Amino acid sequence: MSLPNSVTINDVVLRDGLQLEAKLLTVEEKLDLSNRLLEANVKTIEFGSFVHPRLVPQMANSKELFKYLKGNHDTTFIALIPNLKGAEIAAEIQVKQVNFVLSVSNTHNQQNVRQTTEESLQSLAKIKTYCDQSEIKVDVSLATTFGCPFEGKIPVERVHSIVEQLTKLSVHTITLADTTGMANPKQVYELVHSLVEKFSKQHFNLHFHNTRGMGLSNVLAGIQAGVTSFDTSLGGLGGCPFAPGATGNVCTEDVVHMLHCMEIDTGIDLIKLIEASNFLQTLVDHEVASSVLKAGKSDRKYEIPVS
């Protein structure tokens, strides 16, 4: 098995992880959680989104949160933006990297942002021009890359066509997202490998959900296909509010644990990450879907009971 020496982890708990939570966290609570991620040496964090608070009230304080985060210069903080207005907010508060989401599936895109995929691509072109002028890096996440809850299987040719259009815009990173956990390892390997080969100069990132229990397997398939950058969410929190059945993201500490067991470096302190996940449970008032939090690391040793 061919494995890389290192893998980059982008934690999305502050954005994707919290956007479906019933409890609305304060700026102070989010900052406390952020600091625990930073103490665990997580170097890339999607901290929030600039969407209308009526649509996603959990993200209403993202702008205020960033004012406290932007002094951490060795960490990359990314904001999700839905439109040009979001890019303007990012420029106003000096966010240096943004993530624009569009769906490969027209039906999902219309449910999500009330636009066709083609209309979103046109919007992206304007956003990219604005961000270039403001010296902001633009990432693009392709939702429903591996399947749509409304349309089903997505033709490979459609994914390739959209990725080709994105490369012509010279976006920084393209994230291939399994929005509702429909992907399987064989599908992931074949599609991702074909894209990496065809667009060899493009940086790719992968975003998996563990909806049907294949999240870690899909991460490994993505690594085998040549990608070494992944979105994960502390505690496995998250999901898309506009897609039925879109339960949690792959869990950051479970992914890091797996990679460390395979001698792949992430630069992350797993013990502190587990402590952060335990703290997260107190913030959201429920247990999180973290296997390593429940069971401990695989090298954990138990004392033999005295009979």
| Whether residue 240 lies in the annotated active site | yes
Give the C-alpha separation, 104 to 112, whole Å: 12
Calculate the CA dihedral of residues 163, 167, 172, 175 and round it to 10 degrees.
Answer: 10
Residue 152 per-residue DSSP state: B
Q: In sequence order, what are the residues at sequence separation of 6 or more whose Cβ sits closer than 8 angstroms to the Cβ of residue 64? A: 27
H-only helix segments in the chain: 27-39, 62-69, 84-92, 106-113, 117-133, 156-168, 185-198, 215-224, 252-261, 270-284, 291-295
Tokens 């815009």 map to which residue? 169
Contact (Cβ atoms closer than 8 angstroms) between residue 277 and residue 233: no
Cα 73 from Cα 19, distance rounded (Å):
26
Q: What is the length of the chain?
A: 307
- Six-digit token string for 113: 């942002």
For the record, the structure tokens of 88 come out as 């303007």
The Cα-based distances of 29 to 33, 76, 248, 272 in angstroms read 6, 20, 21, 17
Catalytic residue among 131, 240, 251, 261: 240
Q: What are phi and psi of 231, to 5 degrees?
A: -80, 135
What are the angstrom distances between the C-alpha of 276 and each of 13, 41, 161? Answer: 11, 12, 40
Identify the three-state secondary structure at position 7.
Answer: coil
Kindly report the backbone phi and psi dihedral angles of residue 135, in degrees, each rounded to the nearest multiple of 5, phi listed first.
Answer: 60, 45
Of 97, 99, 96, which Cα lies nearest the Cα of 83? Answer: 99
Active site residues: 240
